[in-house]
Amino acid sequence: MLKIKIKETGLIYDLSIIDPKTGVDWISDFIGNHDGFREGEFEKPADTDANYDYEIDQGHFNWWETVINDNEALDYRIHDLNQEHGWETIQNIVWKAYDGADLEYQASMVNQVLDEFEAELEAELEAD
């Protein structure tokens, strides 16, 4: 979990993303893997005794919080579908949907493709 201080208000919020398979919080990896720390959005506090990990402006915080929450919910959905339909089947669907999508749209695009997959399965069951 990262403690994030909002520059404009001084309020501190937590950001985290939990892997449904391992229970590990991988928030730093998620942000780092998407160059969030390189862009200068997240600033380390000058005071080494600060009660937060990074400082960020409200607009960037809102963007990251939404992207993180959307991706965490998607991770849990994928985890459940993997258990029900098999890893290979679901991963093939997921990777096709991720192809070329910007981070802020990835979860929505993958959810849309998974919705279509589940609708097709439901239609097949109704046809039988």
pLDDT the model gives residue 85: 95
pLDDT the model gives residue 39: 72
> DSSP secondary-structure letter at 18?
B
Tell me the whole-structure pTM to 2 decimals. Answer: 0.90
In the chain, DSSP assigns E strands to: 2-6, 12-15, 54-56
- Domain range annotation of the chain: 2-127
pLDDT band at 68 (very low <50, low <70, confident <90, very high): very high
- 3-class SS at 113? helix
pLDDT the model gives residue 106: 93
pLDDT tens per residue, range 13-50: 999 999 999 999 999 999 999 999 987 899 999 998 99
